């Protein structure tokens, strides 16, 4: 889901950079104002976790690869703003140091995986788990939230890629950037994320959640207020 | 909790080569839509005019978590992958340590600031 350089036209990546900058300003203000400074170490832990989990490429035999992101479970445990900052740190380092995701696409990738994903997971989890759920119901909520949030992020990515032939074509009608239309990008991205990578994201998230439920119930309780 | 958590992350970092062995065993390639320009050209029959130019805009110091040759033996790539994992964690730690310094209020308790 890390869009490389060369795939997005400036008319796509510049607005996404703008959106990312606005969200980043809001996130920093929110964290400074409302969040306990004790939460800051969790940003580092969460960023490191997400960075590592994204290195575990999962193969589709004979096909492509993908990976979990961790943006859902981080949002469920520490809130969407901590998740946004953590994911953005991980994604920016991946782009600048390891060439994983383009530098022109940092805004897009941070928007998709750092903002959309945590926000979706946060709301889906709260809707399903409510304020007073049984552990079983919480687990189901975590799985669905993680699975769905990865898929919504994948859908945003697919749409950003798939509109390129529409927004940036040369005089000969050929796309200047990513050449795949929406009818190719959406089925390709969604099929693999709905059926495989999303399931892995859900399972990993439930495992992490179980650990916190057992050893750090205070953190989960704080989220249920 | 913190110490245990970092140990857990270190174990994860050591296990990361699973993420290059598995795709190799199952003969799987890049993630969808993350191909190089040459692969895109193969797929659609032409090279999108602006794609190549933008694709080469930046060269990362450790491309693909690998500081050896792209064709290096898998064992070498695995070592590079682990080193990259620790390098990534290290940079994240440095950054968040800085963030912590900035976000910490200079006077934690208003009492001490008024009495001094």
Give the pTM.
0.92
Q: Is residue A1 part of a domain?
A: no
Q: Which residues of A89-115 are buried (b: 16+ CB within 10 A; e: fewer)?
A: bbbbbbbbbbbbbbbbbbbbbbbbbbb
Tens-place pLDDT, residues A22-43: 999 999 888 777 655 667 778 8
Q: Tell me if A180 and B5 make a contact (CB, 8 A cut-off).
A: no
Q: Which residue has the higher pLDDT, B109 or A176?
A: A176
Look at residue B26 and tell me if it is in a domain: yes
Centroid of chain to Cα A111: 8
Report, as ranges of residue numbers, the positions in chain A whose pLDDT lies below 70: 34-38, 224-225
Surface-to-core class of residue A152, CB atoms within 10 Å of its CB (0-12 exposed, 13-18 middle, 19+ buried): buried
Domain of A101, CATH number, reads 1.10.1760.20
pLDDT at B113: 36
Query: A65-66 and A58-59: which strand pairing?
Result: antiparallel
| B78 lies in some domain | yes
ipTM: 0.91
How many folded domains does chain B comprise?
1
Task: Establish if A31 belongs to a structural domain.
Answer: yes
A51–B59 C-beta distance less than 8 A: no
**Confidence (pLDDT) at B112:** 36
Which residue range is the domain that position B28 belongs to? 3-95
Answer yes or no: is B115 within a domain: no
Question: What are the beta bridge partners of residue A169?
Answer: A175
Residue A4 belongs to some domain of the structure: no
A126 belongs to a structural domain: yes
Inter-chain Cβ pairs, chain A and chain B, closer than 8 A? 197
In tens, the pLDDT along B34-66 reads 999 999 999 999 999 999 999 999 999 999 999
Residue A180 placed within a domain: yes
Residue B61 lies in a domain: yes
Residue A97 belongs to domain spanning: 10-223
Domain assignment of residue A75, yes or no:
yes
Strand segments, DSSP code E, in A51-175 are 58-59, 65-66
**Helix (DSSP H) and strand (DSSP E) numbers for chain A:** 11, 2
* Band of residue B1 on the pLDDT scale cut at 50, 70, 90: low
Residues of B within 8 A of A181 (CB-CB) are none
* Secondary structure class of A58 (helix, strand, coil): strand
> Do the beta carbons of residue A66 and residue A1 sit within 8 Å?
yes
Residue B37 lies in a domain: yes
| Alpha carbon distances (Å) from A116 to A40, B2, B31, B111 | 21, 28, 20, 42
Please answer yes or no on whether B33 and A188 come within 8 Å at the CB atom: yes
pLDDT, one tens digit per residue, over A185-215 is 999 999 999 999 999 999 999 999 999 998 8
Q: Is residue B22 part of a domain?
A: yes
A2 within a domain of the structure (yes/no): no
Has residue B100 been placed in a domain? Answer: no
- Residue A143 maps to a domain: yes
């Amino acid at each position: 889901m890390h869009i490389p350089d060369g795939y997005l036209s400036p008319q796509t990546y510049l607005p996404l950079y703008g959106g990312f900058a606005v969200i980043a300003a809001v996130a920093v203000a929110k964290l400074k104002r409302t969040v306990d400074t004790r939460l800051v170490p969790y940003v580092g832990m969460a960023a490191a976790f997400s960075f590592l989990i994204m290195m575990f490429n999962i193969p589709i035999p004979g096909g492509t690869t993908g990976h979990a992101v961790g943006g859902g479970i981080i949002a469920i445990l520490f809130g969407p703003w901590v998740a946004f900052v953590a994911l953005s740190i991980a994604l920016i380092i991946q782009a600048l140091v390891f060439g994983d995701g383009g530098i022109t696409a940092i805004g897009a990738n941070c928007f998709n995986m750092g903002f959309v994903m945590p926000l979706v997971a946060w709301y889906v989890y709260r809707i399903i788990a409510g304020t007073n759920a049984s552990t079983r119901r919480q687990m189901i909520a975590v799985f669905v939230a993680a699975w769905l949030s990865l898929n919504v992020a994948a859908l945003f990515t697919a749409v950003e890629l798939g509109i390129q032939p529409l927004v940036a074509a040369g005089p000969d009608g050929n796309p200047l950037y990513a050449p795949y239309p929406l009818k190719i990008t959406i089925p390709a991205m969604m099929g693999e994320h709905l059926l495989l990578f999303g399931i892995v994201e859900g399972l990993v998230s439930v495992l992490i959640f179980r650990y916190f439920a057992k050893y750090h119930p205070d953190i989960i309780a704080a989220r249920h207020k | 909790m913190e110490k245990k958590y970092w140990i857990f992350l270190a174990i994860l970092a050591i296990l990361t080569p699973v993420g290059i062995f598995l795709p190799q065993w199952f003969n799987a390639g890049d993630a969808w839509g993350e191909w190089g320009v040459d692969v895109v050209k193969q797929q659609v029959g032409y090279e999108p005019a602006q794609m190549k130019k933008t694709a080469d805009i930046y060269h990362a110091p450790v491309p693909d978590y690998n500081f050896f040759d792209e064709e290096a033996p898998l064992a070498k790539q695995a070592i590079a992958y682990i080193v990259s994992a620790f390098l990534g964690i290290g940079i994240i730690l440095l950054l968040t340590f800085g963030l912590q310094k900035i976000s910490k209020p200079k006077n934690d308790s208003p009492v001490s600031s008024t009495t001094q």
